[in-house]
Chains A and B, each alone.
Chain A
């Protein structure tokens, strides 16, 4: 079926509209008519927005940029699932062929205390950057590096580190968690660096600092239900959380024994 042209769909949307963080929000219904099944979900919203603008109304605001599942900007809960129904897919990669003609689609922002709503479907995820700035790095100034091949890394570790490093920082894990925990995000960063020889020197301090900042930002506790990994567009592994907990335990024991 080399590229059948898309079918036309008519849909009903219930979209969360909220003018600002302290304003009251509500669902507003829209008709989406004649949407091609080959269009992406965000292109469907673009079509609605052009109509809204032309009729003098404010368009539905949402974060987006790359539209290819890599920048981590897009962030919506679609029919109850962060990033919608498909596994391993960011909102921007979702296509309308996934929906049935006549269906009602409910669209909400990611909801979490640490992610205040900015406007409509856009939320403030700067808490993630603040977690990164306390330890999500290897301290090496520009110009201090040895030859890249002077430090072989077993392929298996390199591959696991890469898998953890593919996190796009979208926050769907937080939105999916009933406690709004950021454990999957934080553990993915920690695992990426902990799996590499370069990351060892600061491993314990990094774990302690990032976990402490995560708590400070108001993210909830992890109870290991795994909703995060199921919603994650990059299918980041839950194993990373177990690794973070082990490292945290070890590091805090040492910290305590050093203090006493």
Chain B
């Protein structure tokens, strides 16, 4: 039976929804906040900002992360910048325009009310970060500098050289560490969440493994906030950090949290191509590079000349040719697909012929090497370290790679999942980016969720509940520990012959080939069986070494890959059922004569949210639910960047 998903969007005109909602939400009085215990899982931008803000309000917070220090969360690696509608450059930006660009960029598969709120909050984030001492780039007059990113015709991106994520995360981490010092946040690093504990159908705690000692621990609370990042590593090769995973979200999914739009993944157009079989991850070259770099391939197939020797008339600056008004700054999904088309045509470059050029020659001639160095110095250095080539002299070789996951646990307007008391923030939820995320919008969303939304909506939840007292001695915690231990035992009992990494690579290859940049019905049907096959082999032929009761990286990886092997199947299923193309989801059967994505707004203008049902031996089952989307402000039109 299909349930009706209620997003709990407040009434009223869009620009008043959030203000009105904040007024009508219940408050927890200051003296009572001390009585509540909140668990935050994850210390990326979303989790660190939430921990700090909730503790500042007076809640008792327990914060968990898998890293040895909360400062190492994957957010640290974000490069290019964070959007806000400040309109400092006076180039016509506004909250409405940021809202409009984000809805359109997401190809009309995000909730208007959420996106509007995000745009409203964006300005507060910049203020907060500057007050914390985040050293954003500045102009000579001492005021903040902006640059442009894909999918926008204004400059609204704030940045700190190529290390924006690092600086924002250190800001949020510092704010959180201040609360650790004050005793309001209790920090649990090197803990992996392996289960969500429910009492009376509400989220009341978690089960974690201490990754250093191997101990299985229980932690009870009045509410759980999940901010554990995205699931891009299901593809094995991605720009995500090595430990990024779906495990925490997946275990919540199996405890009742719906998973929304799992097939919406973002393939980023500018990454360093892979060089060999040993490749462990891919490195992003920030999209900001497309401000000054021009993308091209040789006009002629098989042109083997070094790029510098290919004259202008033999080059095809295909993005400028196909999209004259946005040029090199088209959104990511469009740029990635175009690169794939060029490679498929046989015009790819480099040793693997799976790359296109990103050329700074013109900009260096126009602005000078110094200016380019000041803007992108660390990115150029990173490129050179990895490839051994000097990008000031030779154009970069780039190719798309998996980068971000728009899908995630379903949440309502209050960021609450379908499990009462479980709230989901940052990349782990599905909320604001529709079928394609615009550059510099993930950092914005993570911090909006953590600093400015959850502090209000969590109070509203807690004030409206009559929660029974629960502690770690409750039977539900014991059962959960039992379940977690049984899974660990199983890993050790298989005694097969293949390493975790081998299974992971196999899964990744299937995902990339069949659920990657372009998808079709036949492939999506076939791949579900093949994923199930790899999963079956995993549970029969895994080789596990080392100890159960001490640090064991293989054991950590096994748990994550086991979940990816289930997640991958759901992604393929969702991609198959969404019989349209939109944003990053490109179904070959549904395209315009110019190879652009062809949406079907009559049948698919909705969020697909999956309810986990069962797993008998190796067959998995889900129920698909729909949340209908309506567009009252940004008219449903075909995206055009021409």
Q: Which residues of A contact B (CB under 8 A)?
A: 1-6, 19-20, 35-36, 38-40, 42-44, 46-47, 50, 52-54, 56-59, 61, 63-73, 86, 88-89, 93, 95, 97, 118-119, 122, 124-126, 128-129, 132-149, 151-155, 158, 161-162, 165-166, 168-169, 192-193, 196, 198-199
Contact = CB atoms under 8 A, between A and B. Distances in A.
- Rank and list the top 4 A-B pairs by shortest CB-CB distance, nearest first: A152-B142, A145-B131, A137-B174, A162-B135
Contact of B497 (A54, A63, A169): A54
A148 B86 contact: yes
A47 B278 contact: yes
A196 B175 contact: no
B275 A149 contact: no
Contact of B130 (A52, A68, A122, A151): A151
B170 A165 contact: yes
Contacts of A93: 382, 385-386
Contacts of A86: 385
21 contacts: A1-B389, A2-B351, A19-B550, A38-B275, A39-B278, A46-B280, A46-B501, A63-B68, A65-B74, A67-B280, A67-B283, A69-B382, A71-B74, A73-B67, A97-B388, A126-B69, A129-B180, A129-B187, A140-B132, A144-B131, A153-B142
Contacts of A134: 181
B16 interface: no
Given A65-B243, A138-B174, A166-B166, A5 B280 contact: no
B582 to A, nearest CB: 31
B53 A133 contact: no
B362 interface: no
B458 to A, nearest CB: 13
Given A132-B174, A142-B52, A158-B135, A36 B275 contact: yes
Nearest to B397: A3
Given A53-B554, A126-B69, A148 B144 contact: yes
Contact of A3 (B53, B163, B175, B351): B351
B545 interface: yes
Nearest to B499: A53
Interface in B7-49: 49
A106 to B, nearest CB: 22
B163 to A, nearest CB: 6
B389 A3 contact: yes
Determine chain A's interface SS by DSSP, over half rule: loop
B132 A169 contact: no
Contacts of B49: 142
A136 B138 CA distance: 23
Contacts of A155: 138-142
A109 to B, nearest CB: 13
A54 B514 CA distance: 29
B154 interface: no
B524 interface: no
Which of A72, A125, A141, A142 gathers most chain B CB within 10 Å?
A142
Contact of A196 (B67, B133, B276, B279): B133
Contacts of B131: 138, 140, 144-146, 148, 198
A143 to B, nearest CB: 7
A2 B306 contact: yes
Contacts of A129: 69-71, 177, 180, 187, 189
A120 B240 CA distance: 25
Contacts of B132: 137-138, 140, 198
Contacts of B177: 129, 132-133, 136-137
B127 interface: yes
Contact of B389 (A2, A63, A142): A2
A209 to B, nearest CB: 9
B533 interface: no
Nearest to A131: B177
A40 B276 CA distance: 11
Contacts of A19: 550
Contact of B241 (A67, A132, A149, A154): A67
